[in-house]
């Protein structure tokens, strides 16, 4: 009888533990933003192809920021200024746009981002990228990218699966914003190399695959402590000089970036295969990245790999990934850990 | 008698393994008199696409640069810069640069040699539920002082081998086959 009771107790605790993984934690309060409106929330950029993605995600972000006690200028207050200065894309900002927004809104930080994937289906999927840029330095101060599908939370016996997009977005956005503001406070004293991400080439059939990868990459690098230049600055240069940086970066562009901004690393690459999860098919992606030393234009690191949602399976289906955003993030994490070793050696030799 | 039978069986199995697995060996030309230690810095001119698959040349060029970089034999120029300099020559067929163009591109990029090539075939043959990726790559290396070809190789790789055909192992993807093709081609130059 005792044995039976113990078994029941063990099972109860196990199930409770598995279920507990999906519940949201308590909100933090971020004192830096609770006194004055130093932050402006820019309208998010829609890469998902779903018309309702921005409205629904922005509303939730607003609610979460309020719950954190953060004072900020809302997207609705910013839209007239965007119209006034004809700032068309809020997905990335040019230096001139950042200056105008700083003057008009009198804010130190701008929060930008994109909804990369927004799929309301039996296995819902969401991917968001958010970043906070300093309006004085144009550098990304903190960034986060989160992607998940409902089945990514599947534990033993199929427990923990999220089948409603609303629930998934609540969880993912809360985690994203919590991380974004925690990192902003943590990274203030860190000194890591500065980097520029040249938008990744897209050779897939999926229109926004390159932008999604670039967004996840830059948030990941910024999150890791690198000082990342706002990608709109590079886009601005390309537009002004009627250039298409497809296939890599040329030396005149590199010289321009070096002259205007103190850059250590250039990160670029391409995405060649992008297949979101459909039915029982696992998501797949194939990505190639290279890193250049911005001072001498030498390629110092290259990393190509294919990632598949089934690769991370541990046992009995646990650990499989059904979100293409998650597997792209796994590739980037893998890239970062390998690059860390290589770059330490390279910069030590250079000194 | 038993020994003869066993030997015969071994010969049959070996010949099946060798006959069905490898396909055609790469065709190679290596300049007999050229001193390859003279080459320190190279550039890879974007490969030309002669196949029906869109993006095959882009993918192969990138994998080629990556393998070249991994071999640590030469310093490789950033492909974006190579593309800019090649565009200045106004040529469309990047696998067929003239001697003057090779010399001028080499000077501007500061390289001792250029890799040029074409993807002649990049296709997936389907038969029932199985598929077989085939890639044919033709690459050559020209030195930028005289424009002479110092290395050239033609290689074809397929995703099907004997083991995969007989035991039904999963088919190799186009990317895996391309990577193998690039690796085996480069192996004829860099050991």
Number of Cβ atoms within 10 Å of the Cβ of A232: 23
**Closest CA relative to residue A236, chosen from A260, A212, A216, A266:** A260
Comparing CB atoms, the residue among A273, A297, A302 nearest residue B175 is A273
| pLDDT < 70 positions in chain B | 1, 8, 10-23, 129, 161-171
What's the pLDDT at B21?
47
Residue of A nearest to B71 (CA): A302
B87 touching chain A per CB within 8 A: no
A162 lies in some domain: yes
Beta strands in B72-148 (DSSP E): 75-76, 113-127, 130-143
Chain A residues with beta carbon closer than 8 angstroms to that of B76:
299
CB contact under 8 A, A304 and B55: no
CATH of the domain at A301: 3.40.50.10610
Q: Tokens standing for B120?
A: 């002649």
Residue A329, domain member (yes or no): yes
Which residue of B55, B66, B83 is in closest CB contact with A302?
B66
Pick the CATH number of B24-187 from 2.60.40.1180, 3.30.540.10, 3.40.50.720, 3.40.50.10610: 3.40.50.10610
Q: Average pLDDT of chain B?
A: 84
Verify whether the Cβ–Cβ distance B84 to A252 is below 8 Å: yes
The answer to whether position A291 is within a domain reads yes
**How many C-beta atoms lie closer than 10 Å to residue A275's C-beta?**
19
Q: Does B65 touch chain A (CB under 8 A)?
A: yes
The C-alpha angle B105, B108, B113, rounded to 5 degrees, equals: 55
Q: What are the extents of the domains in chain B?
A: 24-187
Q: Is residue A20 part of a domain?
A: no
Tokens 């860099």 — which residue? B190
Q: Which of B55, B84, B173 sits opposite A250 (nearest CB)?
A: B84
Q: What is the model's pLDDT at position A193?
A: 84
- Identify all chain B residues contacting A299, using CB atoms and an 8 Å cutoff: 69, 76, 78
Q: Evaluate whether A285 touches A307 at the Cβ level (below 8 Å).
A: yes
d(CA B130, CA A342): 40
Chains A and B form CB pairs within 8 A to the count of 63
Rounded to two decimals, the ipTM of the complex is 0.73
Give me the domain span that covers residue A270: 29-350
Residue B64: per-residue pLDDT: 93
pLDDT at A25: 46
Domain count, chain A: 1
**Residue A252 touches partner B, C-beta closer than 8 Å:** yes
Angle at A94 (CA atoms; ends A267, A241), nearest 5 degrees = 75
B55: left (phi over 0), alpha (psi -120 to 50) or beta: left
Integer CA distances (angstroms), A326 to A137, A310, A321, A337, in order: 30, 12, 7, 17
- pLDDT attached to residue A34: 63
| CB pair distance less than 8 Å for A203 and B55 | yes
Give the per-residue pLDDT at A343: 81
pLDDT at A22: 43
Give the integer Cα–Cα distance in Å for B89 and B105.
Answer: 8
Residue A11 forms part of a structural domain: no
CA distance B176 to B135: 10
Residues of B in contact with A250 (CB under 8 A): 78, 80-81, 83-84
B40 near A CB under 8 A: no
pLDDT tens track of chain A, all 351 residues?
667 767 766 665 555 554 444 444 444 545 566 666 788 888 888 988 888 888 889 889 999 998 888 888 887 888 888 888 888 766 778 888 888 889 888 898 999 889 999 988 888 889 999 999 889 888 888 888 888 888 887 766 667 788 888 899 999 999 999 988 887 766 555 567 888 898 898 988 888 888 889 988 888 888 888 888 888 887 777 777 777 777 788 888 888 888 888 888 999 999 988 888 776 778 889 999 999 999 888 899 999 888 888 777 666 666 778 888 888 988 999 999 999 888 877 877 776
Nearest CA in chain B to A284: B173
């Amino acid at each position: 009888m005792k044995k039976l009771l113990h078994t029941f107790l063990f099972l109860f605790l196990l199930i409770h533990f598995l279920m507990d993984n999906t519940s949201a934690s308590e909100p933090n309060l971020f004192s830096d933003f609770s006194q004055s409106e130093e932050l402006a929330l820019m309208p998010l950029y829609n890469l998902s192809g779903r018309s309702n993605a921005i409205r629904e995600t922005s509303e939730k972000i607003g609610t979460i920021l309020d719950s954190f006690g953060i004072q900020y200028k809302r997207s609705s207050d910013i839209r007239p200024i965007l119209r006034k200065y004809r700032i068309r894309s809020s997905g990335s900002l040019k230096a001139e746009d950042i200056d105008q927004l700083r003057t008009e809104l009198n804010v130190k930080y701008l929060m930008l981002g994109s909804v990369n994937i927004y799929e309301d289906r039996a296995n819902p999927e969401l991917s968001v990228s958010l970043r906070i840029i300093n309006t004085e330095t144009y550098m990304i101060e903190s960034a986060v990218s989160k992607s998940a599908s409902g089945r990514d939370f599947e534990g033993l016996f199929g427990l923990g699966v999220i089948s409603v997009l609303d629930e998934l977005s609540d969880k993912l956005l809360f985690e994203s914003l919590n991380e974004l503001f925690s990192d902003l406070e943590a990274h203030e004293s860190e000194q890591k190399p500065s980097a520029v991400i040249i938008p990744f080439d897209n050779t897939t059939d999926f229109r926004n695959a390159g932008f999604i990868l670039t967004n996840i990459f830059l948030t990941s690098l910024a999150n890791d402590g690198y000082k990342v230049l706002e990608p709109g600055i590079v886009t601005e240069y390309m537009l002004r000089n009627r250039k298409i940086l497809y296939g890599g970066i040329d030396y005149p562009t590199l010289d321009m970036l070096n002259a205007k901004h103190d850059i250590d690393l250039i990160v670029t690459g391409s995405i060649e295969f992008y297949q979101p999860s459909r039915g029982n098919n696992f998501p797949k992606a194939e990505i190639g990245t290279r890193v250049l030393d911005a001072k001498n234009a030498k390629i110092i690191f290259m990393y190509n790999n294919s990632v598949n949602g089934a690769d991370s399976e541990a046992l009995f289906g646990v650990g499989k990934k059904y979100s293409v955003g998650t597997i792209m993030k796994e590739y980037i994490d893998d890239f970062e850990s390998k690059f860390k070793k290589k770059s330490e050696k390279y910069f030590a030799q250079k000194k | 008698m038993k020994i003869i039978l066993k030997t015969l069986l071994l010969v049959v199995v070996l010949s099946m393994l060798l006959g069905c697995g490898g396909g055609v060996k790469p065709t190679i030309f290596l300049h007999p008199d050229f001193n390859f230690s003279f080459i320190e810095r190279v550039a890879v001119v974007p490969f030309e696409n002669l196949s029906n698959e869109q993006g095959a040349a882009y993918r192969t060029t990138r994998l080629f640069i990556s393998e070249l970089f991994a071999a640590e034999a030469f310093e490789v120029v950033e492909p974006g810069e190579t593309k800019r300099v090649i565009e200045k020559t106004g040529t469309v067929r990047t696998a067929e640069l003239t001697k003057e163009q090779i010399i001028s591109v080499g000077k501007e990029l500061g390289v001792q040699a250029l890799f040029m090539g074409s993807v002649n075939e990049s296709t997936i043959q389907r038969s029932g539920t199985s598929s077989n990726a085939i890639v044919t790559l033709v690459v050559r290396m020209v030195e930028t002082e005289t424009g002479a070809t110092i290395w050239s190789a033609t290689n074809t790789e397929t995703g099907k081998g004997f083991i995969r055909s007989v035991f039904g192992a999963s088919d190799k993807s186009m990317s895996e086959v391309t990577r193998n093709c690039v690796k085996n081609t480069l192996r004829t130059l860099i050991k």
